[in-house]
Amino acid sequence: MAEQEMNFFHGDVDLDIIKKVKEAVSIPVIGNGNIVDGKSAKEMFEKTGCDAIMIGRASNGNPWIFNNIIKYLEDGTEILKPDNEEIKKTILRHLEMLSDFEGKEVALLEMRKHIAWYTKGMPGASAIRNEINQITDYDKLVNKIKEIC
Ligand SMILES: Cc1cc2nc3c(=O)[nH]c(=O)nc-3n(C[C@H](O)[C@H](O)[C@H](O)COP(=O)(O)O)c2cc1C
């Protein structure tokens, strides 16, 4: 995507504009922008009156966010972060599904950014990222993922 285009997607969400859109149209409105957890999801619903929400960046490396938000909206509780074993299983499943979809070579390259997101905040995350980025063989990548978490 060109840099100029990317700039359209910067900045904070304006809930008031979404509210005005919701009031002006008779079709369902999906609220999106800066939703990162249950609290911000609830705020989007309450302040805009939107019919549904969409989550972009906060789901990178965090597919658990969807269930977590549903739970928060249901009863106000926050689910704990998944442990390393769960993260590892999810990365391996993600890699396998991506590989079925796009082939092993493309999946290997695409998974580099996803693994960086999944491992963000883990001890040694930057070293892990460096190692992963050197790997050009699919099976080696699988073995490395099994080692890291
Ligand atoms: C890197 C990047 C690329 C995006 N590309 C598009 C795009 O091609 N078309 C589009 O409608 N929105 C695009 N968006 C906007 C997202 O769909 C979304 O509206 C925005 O990221 C705000 O939601 P979020 O805070 O949940 O990420 C892009 C956002 C980012 C960060």
The CATH number of the domain holding residue 135 is: 1.10.1200.80
Whether residues 56 and 105 share a domain: the answer is no
Question: How far away, in angstroms, is 104 Cα from ligand 1 center?
Answer: 26
Whether residues 35 and 97 share a domain: the answer is no
The mean of the pLDDT values for the chain is: 93
Contact 131, 140 (CB under 8 A): no
pLDDT at 10: 75
pLDDT band at 7 (very low <50, low <70, confident <90, very high): low
Q: List the domain range (segments joined by +) for residue 139.
A: 84-148
Whether residues 66 and 106 share a domain: the answer is no
Q: Which residues, 6+ apart, have CB-to-CB distance to 60 below 8 Å? A: 114, 117
CA distance 103 to 117: 21
Ligand 1 pocket list (CB less than 6 A): 9, 32-35, 55-58
Long-range CB pairs of 56-62, under 8 A, 24+ apart, other chains included: 56/32, 60/114, 60/117, 61/114, 61/116, 61/117, 61/118, 61/119, 61/120, 62/117
Q: Which residues, 6+ apart, have CB-to-CB distance to 72 below 8 Å? A: 37, 38, 39, 41, 42, 78
pLDDT band at 8 (very low <50, low <70, confident <90, very high): low
Q: At residue 1, does pLDDT exceed 70?
A: no
Whether residues 38 and 67 share a domain: the answer is yes
User: pLDDT for 79-133, tens place per residue?
Assistant: 888 999 999 999 999 999 999 999 999 999 999 999 999 999 888 999 999 999 9
Neighbours of 60 (CB within 10 A): 15
Mean pLDDT of 63-88: 94
Strands 52-54 and 30-32: parallel
pLDDT at 85: 92
User: pLDDT for 127-137, tens place per residue?
Assistant: 999 999 999 99
**Ligand 1 probe mutation, 9, 35, 36, most atoms within 8 A of CB:** 9
In total, how many domains does the chain have? 2
Question: How far away, in angstroms, is 9 Cα from ligand 1 center?
Answer: 6
